A and B are shown apart, each in its own frame.
Chain A
Amino acid sequence: MNLFTEIGRYIIFMKYVFKRPERGRVFWSMLTREMNLIGIESLVVVILIALITGAVTTVQTASQLASDSGVLPPSLFPMEIVGSVVGSSSILEIAPTITCLVLAGKIGASIASEIGNMRVSEQIDAYEVMGINSIGFVSLPKILAGVIMIPCLILVSVFLLMVGGLIAAKLTGIMTMDQYVTGLRSSFVPHYVNVLLVKGYIFSFIITSMSAFQGYYTKGGALEVGEAGTKAVTRICVAILAFDLIIAKLLL
């Protein structure tokens, strides 16, 4: 199947996703369940990754500045630059992109497998025969929950990346906490938060909608359900990186 056919099928799929849900109260209960699964149950992994990545970025940036590159002597670099680099890169790249790539593996694979399993066990056919718009019924709560919760996880991630860097700075003694915080403050540009949120909303939509699409059109049995999960994660990662570039070009 060529790329254009696949895109066409995805657009038709999205048309059915956004049809009005049959029953509001059922939809809300599904939405809250998905918000819990996507948001709360991903919190631990996001916290760990943010803290560790923040610490690593700080240590590596400091190490590069301290090494003699031959361009300028290390003594000419103020250590505040480390805080500045960690702050900017956390907001612009690490928090939205790395967090979403990790969530693509966790949430994307889970959604594709869950819907794929419903497809091969005829549960989706059962919805259809009952007169339910099965695409919207199984996908919309997941997509909406993702678009609400993933940007929140990204905001948590930004904060913890900076905290991780601060802890690393303190524990390794490569700079004072004042130097780190001064660096963070000096590099802060409010517009970067807009870029972060735009990326967050677009990436969360990509993760949830592409994985639901991949799962919905699964054919076969257990093997194909596993393949749907793998395919979904691969495609989501490529799409996230492509849109990362497009957004950076357009907004910066």
Chain B
Amino acid sequence: MIQLIDLNKYYEDKHVLQNINANFYPGVANLVIGASGGGKSVLVKTMVGLETPTSGQVLFEEKDYHNLEYENQQALRREIGMLFQGTALFDSLTVEQNVEFPLLMFSEMSKEERMERVNLCLSKVNLHNANHKAPSEISGGMKKRVGIARAIALPIKYLFCDEPNSGLDPLTSRVIDALLHDITKEFGITTIINSHDMKTVKDIGEHIVFMHQGQKWWEGSKEELSEAQKSNPELDAFVKASF
């Protein structure tokens, strides 16, 4: 489980994350939703350590991530997989080498074992016959799938996805959503998906955190969402605008 306690982030005098308290649960697709500029991306980047909070804590199983020693922080990061908005595939490597990369860096597997794992991960994301292609030779949806395969190559505990459906057509978006849902359930990992796509919320969302103007505006389950809309005009406006 990941807990955020009184998390604040300033960029100079701009208060982009305001006293955020939230929980993200294992084995569940946790969705961070909200309009653009609401602080979703900064929140996710602060959680994975790409940004440092001005104050507050990010607890991974009660370990304060930002106050860990450098080596312990690096070790914790090896339990985190991340799917970036722009996929962040290494463009000098092929699809196969991208997925193999974390194994090459952090496992003692032989070449054969690594290839077996790479092919397993690629088949999990339904990507076949693309092993030797460069990232520039494959479509946006395929890149996202390679990104997911790379993220799950090592046995991770936490999966972060920054706008996994951005730039994808509706059909491919649903495929990616289904993949993320299946992976979360199969490996029992804590998945945090940053999205403004209400279709994703409807299809795979279980625990929802709604961000508005740098604040956590609402948190609850998908079942509680429609009830919350009645008493929360900002949440209601966001949900209605999304359909």
Contacts and interface: CB of A to CB of B under 8 A. Distances in A.
Contacts of B77: 128-131
A68 interface: no
A129 B48 contact: yes
B161 to A, nearest CB: 12
Interface in B73-106: 73-78, 80-82, 84-86, 88-91, 102, 104-106
The prevalent SS among residues of A at the interface is loop
B105 A123 contact: no
B104 A26 contact: yes
B49 A130 contact: no
Given A122-B84, A123-B90, A129 B102 contact: no
B181 to A, nearest CB: 22
Contact of B74 (A125, A126, A133): A133
B50 interface: yes
Could you say which interface size class chain B belongs to?
20 to 34
B88 A121 contact: yes
A121 B147 CA distance: 13
Contacts of B91: 121, 123
Contact of A126 (B76, B78, B84, B104): B84
A86 to B, nearest CB: 42
A183 to B, nearest CB: 49
B82 A23 contact: no
B86 A26 contact: no
Interface in A1-59: 22-23, 26
Interface residues of A, number: 14
A152 interface: no
A128 B74 CA distance: 8
Given A22-B105, A23-B105, A128 B88 contact: no
B230 to A, nearest CB: 38
Interface string A118-157: 0001110110111111000000000000000000000000
B193 to A, nearest CB: 15
Contacts of A121: 86, 88, 91
Nearest to A117: B91
Nearest to B84: A122
A40 B48 CA distance: 40
Nearest to B81: A129
Nearest to B87: A122
Nearest to B77: A131
27 contacts: A22-B105, A22-B106, A23-B104, A23-B106, A121-B86, A121-B88, A122-B84, A123-B89, A125-B50, A125-B82, A125-B88, A126-B84, A128-B49, A128-B50, A129-B48, A129-B50, A129-B80, A129-B81, A129-B82, A130-B80, A130-B106, A131-B74, A131-B76, A131-B78, A131-B80, A132-B74, A132-B105
